[in-house]
Amino acid sequence: MSNSKCNNSNKASKSSAQSWGDRASDRVSGRELAQWYAQAQIEAKMAKVATLELDWLLQAMSNLDRLALRLGTYHTQPEVVLRCEWAQLQQLWQRRLRDRVPIQYLVGETPWRQFSVRVGPGVLIPRPETEQMIDIVAEVAIARPALTVGHWVDLGTGSGAIALGLADVLPQAQIHGVDCSDVAIAIASQNAIRHHLGDRIQFHQGSWWEPLTHLKQQVSGMVSNPPYIPSRTLSTLEPEVRHHEPQLALDGGLDGLESIQYLIETAPAYLRPGGFWLVELMAGQAPTVAKLLRQQGSYQDIQIFRDLAGIERFVTAINN
């Protein structure tokens, strides 16, 4: 999140106290903050927002950690250092409650695997279940060592989270992230640099395979979390998703399979023989996607994987 009043710098300093002093935009007494915190918790429960999100906001925008919030040790502090103006912090929380802005957009980042991934309006917030895609790739790398090198592609990269995960578990591969959004490409590039993976990941702006025509028949693996929600059900999504996350990353067309069908049809031209194909999808779509892969005729070893909640969430295949 870009905000002229909040300073999200992560510059190191000799001590955390000095660092927070350098970055401070405001200060508030522990007593005043405690009073506001108590009221904010009540408001969260009334709005059916998890109170843990309030803690998340305070940890991101102050020098308080989880333990201090849990024990309430800051109550007696003469002052608590803030990274934004006190009034601005209160406004951010009201935006969460009133406008249903996702907390990840308000703090500007979200945890994903071992990474802290920068996010903002214009990119889909990476979900915990998507982390399992990287575990699947890691297992494939063990079973098929020949795939651990060469080019791997994250189509519809968004924040670049999947690309980061691929670079982590495939240290000998060159990773490519593709997205049609210039906002997404900018954020994904920042994330790669932030995690010292800028030399391992190349980002390309364009539609699906369009920027990668030079890699035909050379791609070792394709991973994608494409739009898969049927257009008619978008209006039923939670307001945090419906009103704030990019529709382009959500809308999968009439049956939700428009983008997935495109990837099924086009990937064989880019994957090397024995190349790996992996997509995430919504509950109930896996059998249909597996059937489409079989009917296409270019794939073998088609498998369905369940997420940790037991939902058939991922489909994999090997290019003939």
Q: What is the pLDDT of residue 23?
A: 52
CA dihedral 120, 123, 127, 130 (to 10 degrees): -140
Most confident of 1-5, 11-15, 172-176: 172-176
Give me the residues paired with residue 179 across strands. Answer: 205
CB neighbours of 249 closer than 8 A, spacing ≥ 6? 123, 124, 156, 158, 227
Q: What is the pLDDT of residue 147?
A: 97
**C-alpha span between 192 and 104 (Å, rounded):** 18
pLDDT band at 24 (very low <50, low <70, confident <90, very high): low
86: which 2 tokens? 């006190």
Average pLDDT, stretch 147-171?
A: 97
Write out pLDDT tens, residues 285-314: 999 999 999 999 999 999 999 999 999 999
Domains of the chain listed by start with CATH number? 16-107 (no CATH), 111-319 (3.40.50.150)
Average pLDDT, stretch 121-148?
A: 96
Write out pLDDT tens, residues 218-251: 999 999 999 999 999 999 999 999 999 999 999 9
135: number of CA atoms within 13 Å, CB side?
Answer: 13
Average pLDDT, stretch 199-203?
A: 97
User: Is 0.85 surpassed by the pTM of this model?
Assistant: yes
Q: CA 221 → CA 89, 210, 213, 316, distances in Å?
A: 43, 16, 15, 10
Q: What is the pLDDT of residue 70?
A: 87
Average pLDDT, stretch 251-278?
A: 97
pLDDT band at 72 (very low <50, low <70, confident <90, very high): confident
